[in-house]
Structure 1
Amino acid sequence: MENYTREAILRMAEEEDVEFIRLQFTDMFGTLKNIAIPSTKLEKAMDNRCVIDASSIGGSIRDEEVDMYLHPDLSTFTILPWRPQQGKVARFICDIYQEDGTAYKESPRFILDQVVAKAVSAGYTLMVNPECEFFLFHTDDNGMPTTTTHEKAGYMDLSPVDLGENARRDMVLTLEEMGYEIESSHHEIAPGQQEIDFQFSDVRETADKVMTFKVAVRTIAKRHGLHATFMPKPKAGVNGSGMHINMYLMKDGKNILSDAEDEIGLSKEGYSFMAGILAHIKGMTAVCNPLVNSYKRLAPGFEAPSDITWSTKQRTALVRVQTQREEGARLELRSPDSASNPYLVFALCLAAGLDGIEKNMRITKELKENIRRFSKEEKKQAGIDTLPENLSEALDEFAKDPLIKAVLGETFVNCYLKAKQKEWERYMEQVSEWEIEQYLYRV
């Protein structure tokens, strides 16, 4: 992030021939929204005088028309490299404020800021590196997305087998032009599936990056005649797309998850931080996996975790402990998917982990065997708990966990529950092609 001044932004806008400014913000469900203003209104925007009607935004808690004010975060000023070179377009990521000048407490960015502020007051900073997965599919003759890919590439394959390589390269170059530091990119396991990883940075900066990343990926994909989707499970029979979250917890400039004297390199705080996440993961799942479709990815038999376990070796574990020679121990939470709202996911990870440290929570024993083929009864006998199996179960757990309500606020929780329960009810009204094929002629 840059520490831009008003004067520097005005100068850049003039020198770079910026004609439009997008004022962006994220709604409750992780959808990026914006209004566009001409550059002549740039000073008005930086004076926090641009107004939106919040009543029509996804997840709004009000039915009547209500004005909210967008406060641009000057450090997020960026010229969008995929827009025209003459009459350029820039953007700010904004915080939302009410008419009385107070912050809108149901804003996901505000929620994350509150958790970060509490952590900082205790001396902690959470650094994250999300692994963002997505599919590239062909479009039809009308430019509409399909679920068709002609490639057969697998994990870390390269061209000519990997037909997404050129698009992925342009995505990385575009992100780097915007100041992103990209750790790596590669083809994932399923045909058409891609992954681009960021370098570690603090949670607020990373959440902003994830939202912009999605726009950039979709835009560059369209230029290549492709459709990029972050839908967790767009095709049956193959792995879905996750957003694995790698975490370091910093204090006094040191990664306090590490302890070189420990058998697996994890500190006492590290065990408790992980225990906190495992203790609250059922309640967190409705946010980490927010769609009906999310639970198709979490179904047993694929790479995504379906059980509440941790391991240093097993890839199907919910949390993996990894130790790097230089950086030390880090935790990888593997259940969140690419459709989730990063502000809320990061806020809950940090709050749950710190709850574990504050309460000195004890961890369950490490998973050391492959339980992929275990039955439910075998898992129960082994003391292995499971994640919610569908959105309805996840919402029940979401409503029960007091930490969720403390972090997100009662108003947010009630509104989220209402909207997602409607989504589940609409899904249950549908009749799928699978049901027709299975039952129409037999019953």
Structure 2
Amino acid sequence: MTTLADPVPGGRPGDVERATALSGELAGRGVHGVVLAYVDTAGIGRVKTVPTARLASAAAWGVGMSPVFDTFLANDSIVTTDVLGSPDGDLRLYPDLDRLVVLAGQPGWAWAPVDRVTQDGERHPGCTRTFLRRIVTEAAGRHGLTFKAAIEIEWTVARGDAPGDAFVPATTGPAYGATRQIELGDYTADLLSACAAQGVDVEQVHPEYAAGQFEVSVGAVDPVAAADRSVLVRQTVRAVAQRHGLRVSFAPAVVGRGVGNGGHVHLSAWRAGANLHAGGEGRYGMTAEAESFTAGILAHLPALTAVTAPSPASHLRLRPSQWAGVFTAWGRETRETALRVVTGTTGLRDRAANLEIKPVDLAANPYLAIGSLIAAGLDGLTSAAALPDETTGDPAHLSEAEAEARGVRRLPDSLERAVEEFRDDDVLRTALGPVLADAVIAVRRGEQECVAGLDDDQVAAAYRWTY
């Protein structure tokens, strides 16, 4: 279970004593250091580490980190807003002890996600993990809702001995082919072992469509834990790969053309232990609230792409007829619509039914992405928004008249246009708050400027090994 209370200077009740006990247990297991992890606005995982013996101090007083990283770009250059991007100031990183795990893929290390707090003990308005915790807490208080979420993780596996930054797939064979599983069977077996040791319940791991591509699907948990898990699993995928002499990329596109790496989000709303996406009188068993929640996400999708597909490389992936979901449409088990209603198999629907959001990739900050999706869904639920007609097949094949009649439109085809949609979306900007919303706009514009004049292959190369 994820800690939902804000950190406080001196530690929350019991934190210091618990961290002291944990540090002794970790030392006894040969753990020398703890990785304190968060994700910045650009979607880059940032860390500080402390010796195991310093865990209690970190739980009590945090660890220092500059707020300037809120406006770092993926290439480590810096943009500014009216309050962020300065070399001044400091924040404190507080580990969530409930989420601390020993890293099976990195012997000698443990890992914990952090919340970022000001030196005055206040929530840092740019902390995306804090933002997601706030959205979840407010949904419970105002609507009596809880959520379950999971993020699919797709990545490409490359040979570690390839020259320079070239991408050379580490395996051959067709999509979903047995050849790939056999050639990298030792690697994926070690990955499954590491995930199990870390308490991550893997539902499946398999070769995917693109060259050298794999996917791992994990069980659904509360939204903050789901975002934490996404960061942890990627750290594990990369660490295990390195031990096998392999190199991995979670970038939305590793080459200029073709299918890219997604990070589809599965999300369901619950009340009093009942899944709102099953057992209702709406379409495919959805309750009226689930339909309105889905309609809210659908309505805000053009703006949401600024947080769910935040890299210039994201738009190399977001192309029609590539199962990336680039149209504002929904359908039951329809993999070309942006929203896929998953009903689950008969006998499991009360537990398995959920909404899959497809125009998401792993350049996205998972806390920011899930929090924004929930905020959009809640806007639809609050206004009792009507869910439009379902779309079947590929929306790209609809005539202009049919698309207009159904309200089906193409999602922004560039990061610049996505930012324009986000800037004009008062609901999302209000949910994020002015500091975080302005950071999103500034960082996205900065990324766009970094690739001005580059062709698709050059854009892919620029981000290939960043994520």
Q: TM-score, normalised by structure 2?
A: 0.86
Residues 1:196 and 2:216 aligned together: yes
2: CA distance between counterparts of 1:411 and 1:376?
A: 39
Match of 1:13, as an amino acid? L
1:29 is aligned to 2:48: no
Counterpart position of 2:420: 396
State the Cα distance separating 1:135 from its structure 2 match: 0.7
Q: CA distance change for structure 1 residues 231 and 191 in 2, over 3 Å: closer, same or farther?
A: same
Q: Which residue of 1 aligns with 2:349?
A: 327
2:114 to 75, 88, 94: 94
CA 1:141/1:335 → structure 2, altered by over 3 Å: closer, same or farther? closer
SS at match of 1:75: helix
Q: CA deviation at 1:129?
A: 2.1
Residue 71 in 1 paired to residue 101 in 2?
no
* C-alpha distance in 1 between matches for 2:267 and 2:52: 39
The answer on whether the counterparts of 1:244 and 1:334 sit within 8 Å (CA) in structure 2 is: yes
> What's the Cα RMSD here?
2.4
Counterpart for residue 12 of structure 1: 25
- 5 Å-filtered alignment, 1:295-314, equals 295-314=315-334
Residue-by-residue CA offset, 1:52-111 (whole Å, 9 max, x unaligned): 233355447141321211212111222222334xxx222222111111111111101011
How far apart, in 1, do the equivalents of 2:181 and 2:33 lie? 40
The residue correspondences of 1:5-404 to structure 2 (distance < 5 A) are 5-56=18-69, 58-59=71-72, 61-84=84-107, 88-121=108-141, 122-140=143-161, 144-149=164-169, 151-159=171-179, 163-259=183-279, 261-324=281-344, 325=346, 326-328=348-350, 329-374=353-398, 379-380=403-404, 383-404=407-428
- Higher RCO structure (Cα 8 Å, ≥6 apart): 2
Structure 1 residue 431 displacement after superposition: 5.3
TM-fit CA distance, 1:161 = 6.5
Q: Which amino acid aligns with 1:290?
A: P
Is the Cα–Cα contact under 8 Å of residues 71 and 85 in structure 2 kept in the other structure? no
Contact 1:152/1:161 (CA < 8 Å) preserved in 2? no
**Counterpart amino acid of residue 397 in structure 1:** E
Which range moved further: 24-33 or 200-209? 24-33
Aligned to 1:250, what secondary structure does the other structure show? strand
Q: In 2 relative to 1, CA 380–218 (structure 1 residues): closer, same or farther, beyond 3 Å? A: same
Aligned 8 A contact 2:321 2:336 in 1: no
- CA distance change for structure 1 residues 327 and 432 in 2, over 3 Å: closer, same or farther? closer
Distance 1:152 1:18 in 2: 37
Q: Does 2:429 correspond to 1:405?
A: yes
User: What are the ranges of 5 or more consecutive residues in structure 1 without an aligned counterpart?
Assistant: 436-443
Whichever structure has more strand as a proportion of its residues is 1
More helix by share: 2
State the SS of the aligned residue for 1:113: helix
Q: CA deviation at 1:364?
A: 1.1
Q: Aligned with 2:153: secondary structure?
A: strand
Rounded Cα–Cα distance in structure 1 between residues aligned with 2:429 and 2:390: 29
**Which ranges of structure 2 fall in alignment gaps of 5 or more residues?**
4-14, 73-79, 460-467
Q: Distance in 1 between matches of 2:458 and 2:62?
A: 52
Give the drift of 1:264.
1.7
| Matched residue type, 2:357 | L
Give 1:37 deviation, angstroms. Answer: 2.0
Mean Cα displacement is larger for which, 337-346 or 381-390? 381-390
> In the alignment, residue 256 of structure 1 is paired with which amino acid?
L
Amino acid paired to 1:136? V
1:207 alignment partner AA: A
Distance 2:216 2:29 in 1: 29
Distance 1:15 1:212 in 2: 22
Which moves more between the two structures, 15-24 or 102-111? 15-24
The farther-off stretch of 297-306 and 373-382 is: 373-382
Quick check: 25-34 or 240-249, which moved more? 25-34
Q: CA deviation at 1:276?
A: 0.3
Matched pairs, number: 431
What is the CA distance between 1:432 and its match in structure 2? 6.2
**What amino acid maps onto 2:339 in structure 1?**
V
Deviations 1:163-217 (A, max 9, x none): 3333222222111111111111111112211000010101000100111111111
Contact 2:96–2:114 (CA under 8 A) maintained in structure 1: yes
Q: What fraction of aligned residue pairs are identical, expressed as a percent?
A: 26
> Given the superposition, is the C-alpha separation of residues 220 and 375 from structure 1 closer, same or farther in structure 2, using an over 3 Å criterion?
farther
Q: Deviations over 1:341-380 (max 9, x none)?
A: 1101110111111111110000111102433344667634
